[in-house]
Structure formats: structure tokens, C-alpha cells
Amino acid sequence: MMTGKKLFAIVGGVAVPLMASVLLALAQQQSDTPNNPFARDPAAPAAGRALFNATCVACHGQDATGGRGPALNTGTFTHGNSDYDLFQVIKGGIAGTQMPNFSTLPSDDIWRLVTYIKSLSNGAPAGGGAAPVVASGNAAAGEALFFGAGNCTNCHEINGRGGILAPDLSAEGQRAPNLIRSGITHTPVGGRGFRGPTARALNIVMKDGRKISGITRAEDSFTVDLQLKDGTYALLDAANIASRENAGPTTPPNTLTPKQIDDIAAFLATQKQRDFSQTAKVTPAPVLPYERILKPEAKNWPTYWGDYHGHHFSALTQINKQNVSKVAARWAAPLLGESILEGTPLVVDGIMYASGSPGEVYALDAKSGMILWTFKRKQDIKNPYQINPFNRGVAVLDGRVFVGTLDDNLIALDAHTGRELWEKRVADTMLGYTLTGAPLAIKDKIIVGVATGEAGIRGWIQAFDPANGNSLWRFDTVPAPGEKGNETWAGDSWKYGGVGVWLTANYDAETNSIIVGTGQPVPDYNADLRKGDNLFSDCVISLDADTGKLKWYYQDTPNDPHDWDSVQDIVLADQVIDGKMRKLVLHADRNGFFYVLDRTNGKFIFAKPFVRQTWNLGFDANGKPIVDPKSFATPQGQVVFPAVGGTNFQAPSYDAKTKIFYLEYGDSQGFAVSAPAVNEPGKEYLGRGTGTPPPGPPAQQGVAAIDTTTGKVLWKFPLTQGSLQAGVVATAGGVVFASSSEGRFIALDGKTGKPLWNFRTGQRISASPISYSVDGVQYVAVASANTIFSFALPK
């Protein structure tokens, strides 16, 4: 939109200024977008229809009304509504789905197909020729009817006003007038169907006498999932249902006069998009209040790490060492998209909330894996040098679900429906920023860190108001001149120092502290370009949750030349040391050391290597590592242990009762080679050279158990393939579940490391498992490739 001489973006119906580089890139990408050469050709729809019937009808149905593939006659498309969006989908296909590419089809034919598909929703006959239907009626009168005597809001909503049982109509005006009218009357248009509700209202009587009424959100021969009028769900086993009957249509009886229908249609035609300035005012019914996260129930998995203290441990005992060999797969839910799943799902009262490919969020029945709702948002803008196209999870607080996107939007969804409530652009993706980590939800804040990848930019962690997305505070992880720590950066290297915060923080409610690990400095491998300790890179930091002010820090790897981020889980634990109960931080770092710190002040207590290491000659009196100069990256290269890291962002697990810390490790030789580097906006700033390393010992990898009172490694279970993503979860049943890049999901004896059970998913696992329970049954779930699997004991 052009307003005066400034460019603005329409966000929630409000014009707001965009970041300059985002605007420039967006304008460039729009100028490069081809136009449909057949958009105004009266013969194109008929020609496109013939192509459609020969090529597409088998999946998308006669007249594109839907079949194995989605209906294409609605005017609204998952992967973009422009002609060029459709062209790209047809030509390139959709990865991970049954939509193949038609790259061999001539471009002119693809454009004719696009023209035909678009004609189905513009009011013209399928063969083309007639003009679209023009909206008539009184919009003001239609608005009064919609929100009043028409009873439309019993089921539908517009911008947060109304019910949630039928489709949201906030953007209904994007559809053609004839289709808007057909939606009101629930009558087909030209034999091509209409966008009516696919859900049905049911009155159910259970075998125990309970009566339940609601709208179906998922249903098959074994499961019926109903959404009740208050937004909650009833997740029912069909075997427990005594009777069910249709409660009639999900819309009120059609008592509207033709003029009233025209008026409502005219009003709906003015609704072009969801207005976040209005939906942000909505307060959804609570799903997970702060108090329940603070004191989590064993049945739930309420945060990315399982609890605020980062234990990633399940107190459930139904599955134990004696019966785990009987565990079987209960369900598998494919979340198909453009990237594999690296996320950790949450579970709240039988509902699983999971992120899929970036920009996608799902709510699933955690008993059956059936999908209750889906949210998908296409990137506004894509950095051509974008790396790490993954999302690692969501947060839930009260009635909202929070997620970040690759183009740096923090988004709040209604947990009951998946409908968007607000979004805030946090950073500028054209400079290299992305949001890949799961947010942290505390009492009155959503805590988000930005990923900087390997770009020459400055990272930060930020707090937002969960109700509206307003910024509350921000802590920059690379201090500016005059701030504590800036003196540890030579010259102006602080300006492009990196130090992202790309994994989820933890929270110490007793001291009201956010405790989190930070990323590496850049350029990653040429430390000569940024001489000094480079604070606050590779640190564990504690921040005041109310203000974002730094309380303390401990740096694991000063002047890191190896890309050894310290973002790994920060476990908060209480243990007796020298006869005194101490509040501790337990942290297995990528540099190969297991650290124990005092979490009240960050003071070093001890650290022990859990893999081979050659970079550290010991610690000084203050706990600062004494770095061996022979480990630094040089143009000629030097051998160093560990290589890419002793562990990475995959979840460890801490058993507070046994004081054992479980993790997946990698133990191999690295070769540190530096090279000159020039920082270019939005690109990787590495300073990494090439060279031939000398022969070294074989790499080792697997699962390990560490005694946190001594740092001693108790046992190791070897794996044939290493991973920087696959993690573990330990349970009170004495079982450690470990995912692996082999595609095996493994159960180990927590005391000995002995294998007890395994399941081959047939796909690489790049995520960490969780455990939860529904209706008294314990499940263990993990994502493998694009599919979430859930396991339990036999019924």
C-alpha cells in the first residue's frame, strides 16, 4: 500500500511501516512475479477445463469440487491465492504430499489451468464467457443482521466476534459474491458445490450414561472427537458410545428473505482479511493457565523442555523396565511439508500441539493422532540465503498458542480453533534473522530469542505481552559501546558478532529469573577478526524476568573458533554439595564439558568432560577455561576434540531422584581451519577454511548417563550414526527412551544402559521424545521425518 511517500503493509487492517530491507526485498520479489498472460483471454477457461479434465480431475474431482485432493473451486488456496502462486504449485508440486510436479507441462497450458481454476470462484460459468456476479444489498443492514437477528454468530465469527463452531468469515470478502451467497444459503453454484460446513452436529449417549453434544472435528470408525460450545473437546472412543444421532445442520434454519441474504452477502463482501487489531482483544477460554505450568501434572507435557526447570523428564510409571518390551505403536500422524520435523510437541489435557514445517501448527487428539485443527501461514518474504528451515515447537499459555516463523513473525493463535489472534514482526529476515525455537510462556510474558544462523548480525532475547504482542523488554547478547562486555570485542567486531538465542529458555520462578544459553560468535571460525572473549557468546545467562536486566553470566567457551553454541538445555536442580543444599545449573555443553554452576550467582562449581577434548587445559580460580592455543583454528588447520560438538540442541533428561543426567553425545576428531571473511548482509559470515585433516581415531556416538554429583560417565550405549538433533526422555519407570538418526526409537534401562526395546520408524529421527498420559494410559511420542509416532502398552 502507498501512503504519502512511505510504504506500509496492511497488518490486521492497519497500515504499519515495514523494515526497510523487508520492503525492498518484497518489492523486488513482487516485481519479478510473472503475470498470467491468459487472465483476460475469454477462451482460456474452456481450454483450461479440458486440460483439467485430462490431468487433474482424478484427484480434485469433477469441476474441482474435491476428492482425494482438496476442492479448488473456493477461491482460497493453502499455498497462496495469486495466479503465480497456483502456477508454481502446479509446475513444482508440493513436497511431502501427493501433489506431483507437472514440470513437463508447457507453461502456457499451466497458465490456462490457472485461469480455469480461478474462474470457478469468480462467478463466471466453468467454460468462461459470462461476467462475475456483482454484490448487491445493504452492507450496514447485513452487518446488523449478521450480529443480531440473523443468528449467524451462534456458529460463525468475524474478527473474534461470534462463535467458533463454523468457519471464520473474517476474510469471506476474498471470495466471489455468488460464492458468498451460496455459503449463506448452503446451495451449490453451477453444480460445483459450495463451501459449506463439513462438520456435523451430534448428540451422543455414552455407555456410562453421559450425554454429550457438539460438532465433529475428527471422526472415523474408532474415534469421534467433538468440539463443545465452550470450545473444549470431548475425545471419544467409538466403542464406548451407546448411541449417536445427528442434531441437524450446523446452521440455523433458512428463514432469511432474499433481501436479507443480499444484505448479509454485501456485508460479508466487505470482510477482506482478519483484523488483528480486533482479534487481539479476544481472550480465549483458558487451556493452560500459568499456575498449571508452574506445577505441571504428570499427564501433561506443558513446555518445550517438559517443565520450567528443563528436566525433560516424565514422572509417569505405567511403562517400566519390566513391561516396556510390550510397547507398540498406537498411532502415526503425517504432518507433511517442506522440511522434516525437529520440534517437540506439547500435550495439555489430551490435546497435542505441534509445529510442522515452518509456519504450520497442528492440534491433534493425543490418543488417536487425529487432527483437530491446522494453522498454515506462508512466508511473507524469504531471504535467498536462508538456512535452517525448521521450527522446533510452540508454547501454550491460557487460551493461546504461540509460534515463530522463518520471516520473524511471532504469532498468537486461539488454542481452541487455531485461528490467528495477532502477529508481530520481531526482526528482519533479509539480514539473516529467523525464529526457529519454541517460545517460553511465563505468567505474563512470552519469551523469544532470535536465531542469527551464521550471519554477521547481533542477537537478542525479548519479552512480549501474550495478550497483544507488545514488546516489554529486550536484552542484546552482543553489548554495544558503554554496555558491560563490549570491551571484549576488538574494534567494531561487536556490530556483526552473532550470538543468537535460538533455543528455548528456562524459568526459575523462585528468583524470577530467565536462564538461557547463547549462541556462537561470528565469523564462526576466524577468531582473529573478533579478538577478545566476545561476551555474551557461548554463555549461560540469567536475566530478571520483569526487566530483562542481566543478573549473572558464565562463559563456557571464550573467543570460540569452533561454532560451539551453548544453547543446550539449562537444567535447574537442587542438590546437596558439601553438606549444604545448593541451587544449581546443570549443563552439558557442545564443547564437550558437563558443567555444574550455582544458579543464584553463576559461580563455577565444577566441570568434567563427557567426550574426548583437547581444547581446555583446565580452569582458573574463577572457573574460566584455560584454552590450549593448539586448538585454535588457523589457516593451516589444527586437530581438535570434539569436532562439531559433544552434544547439540537435542534434549537431555534429568532424573532428580537418582541425580542422573542422560544425553546423546558425539565424540570425534575435528580439524579447525580458518580463512579470511567478508561480512555481507543476510549471508553466512563463517571464516572457515578447507584442508585435509590427518588420520584420527574412529568417531564414537551414542547415549550416555552422567552422575551429576561427580560428573562421572556411568555408562554409554553406542549408536552407529551420530546426530545433532535426536534426543532422549527418561521416565520414573526407570526407562530412557532415545531417538536416533538410524531411524530406531530405543528404550534403555536407566540404571545400566541395557537395551530393552526398539522400534524402527523407517525414517531418520531428528527430534526428541516426550511422554504423556490420556485417560490413564501412558504414551511416548516422537517425530520421525514428517510423522509423529505415539506408543503405549497394548490395550
Residue of 414, 160, 168 whose CA lies nearest to 285: 414
What's the CA gap between 507 and 571, in Å, rounded? 10
Whole-model pTM: value is 0.90
- Kindly state the percentage of the chain with pLDDT values over 90: 78
Q: Is the dihedral of CA 126, 131, 136, 139 positive or negative?
A: positive
Q: Per-residue pLDDT tens for 152-163?
A: 998 899 999 999
> Over the stretch 80-111, which tens digit does the pLDDT of each residue have?
888 888 998 998 888 767 888 898 889 999 99
With residue 787 as reference, give the H or E element that holds it. Answer: strand 787-792
Which comes out higher in pLDDT, residue 393 or 41? 393
Tell me the pLDDT band of 165, cut-offs 50, 70 and 90: confident
Q: pLDDT digit string (tens) for 308-317?
A: 999 999 999 9
- pLDDT of amino acid 135: 62
Question: What is the per-residue pLDDT for 8?
Answer: 36
From 83, 307, 508, 563, the catalytic residue: 563
Assess whether pLDDT exceeds 60 at residue 133: no
Q: In whole numbers, what is the pLDDT of the chain averaged over residues?
A: 91
User: In the predicted model, is pLDDT for residue 472 greater than 80?
Assistant: yes
Largest separation between any pair of C-alpha atoms in the chain: 88
Taking only the tens place, the pLDDT of each residue in 512-570 is: 999 999 999 999 999 999 999 999 999 999 999 999 999 999 999 999 999 999 999 99
pLDDT at position 111 is: 92
Is residue 563 part of the annotated active site? The answer reads: yes
The percent of the chain in helix, strand and coil, each rounded to the nearest 5, is: 15, 30, 55
**Residue 706 banded pLDDT, cuts 50, 70, 90:** very high
The residues facing 582 across adjacent strands are 575
Is residue 61 very low, low, confident or very high in pLDDT (cuts 50, 70, 90)? confident
How far, in Å, CA of 83 to CA of 118, rounded?
8
Quick check: helix, strand or coil at residue 580? strand
Q: What is the pLDDT of residues 405-455, one digit of tens each?
A: 999 999 999 999 999 999 999 999 999 999 999 999 999 999 999 999 999
Grouping H, G, I as helix, E, B as strand and the rest as coil, residue 755 is strand
DSSP 13-28: TEEEEPPHHHHHHHHH
Q: Rounded to an integer, what distance in angstroms lies between the CA atom of residue 383 and that of residue 407?
A: 8
Grid cell at residue 483: 554496555
Q: Is the pLDDT of residue 124 over 80?
A: no
Residue 191 pLDDT exceeds 50: no
3-state secondary structure 261-301: HHHHHHHHCCCCCCCHHHHCCCCCCCCECHHHHHCCCCCCE
Give the three-state DSSP class for 758: strand
Place 337 in a pLDDT band, splitting at 50, 70 and 90.
confident
Mean pLDDT value of segment 322-335 = 98
Q: Is the pLDDT of residue 636 over 70?
A: yes
Cα dihedral sign, 471-472-475-481: positive
Q: How many degrees, rounded to 5, is the angle at CA 377 between CA 374 and CA 380?
A: 180
